[in-house]
Chain A
Amino acid sequence: NAGVTQTPKFQVLKTGQSMTLQCAQDMNHNSMYWYRQDPGMGLRLIYYSASEGTTDKGEVPNGYNVSRLNKREFSLRLESAAPSQTSVYFCASTRDTPQPQHFGDGTRLSIL
């Protein structure tokens, strides 16, 4: 049982480049989330999808877009990467809020 799978695990980009972070879950969960984690800042919610077909902004959505492709997959896109977006990105899923979330093992993104 893979749980939540994120790809890629590591990525280095140049300022202005774009890329998409992929996330897939095999637990038939309804809700999916994207977080970023910076040293000393804790997890901050970027976007979430409470159910298939819906997406909502979280605490720090600027510079990002998301797509809930189907029930399994939720992608995060950086259209024009900036050094301030250097971070560790985590995807998570849950059957429904307020159930606990299951996390992927993260994508380490560096933007030069």
Chain B
Amino acid sequence: GAVVSQHPSRVICKSGTSVKIECRSLDFQATTMFWYRQFPKQSLMLMATSNEGSKATYEQGVEKDKFLINHASLTLSTLTVTSAHPEDSSFYICSAEMALSSYNEQFFGPGTRLTVL
């Protein structure tokens, strides 16, 4: 099956620093990738849609300057949390879209736990 990886799996950083999270599709090419945020015991909230070679589309309420998304290749998208603060602590999940015969399916990464001190 299609595999999506994320790196790192966990990161702890100091307030005010920036953190980069990588999302890779290991065995397929993904024109579109998605970034989600999951709070404890809550659902996944879509943050942005990332298209290779173009600017990401952010959901309402998501700060573009805070969460920088780059999709430079068909197998890699990155999310950079800039000037992180404790309220940015969360579980970040990416997914990569694969075109199947009848529809495009999303395959999800294992997530990255960000803790901002």
Instruction: Answer yes or no: do A and B interact.
Output: no
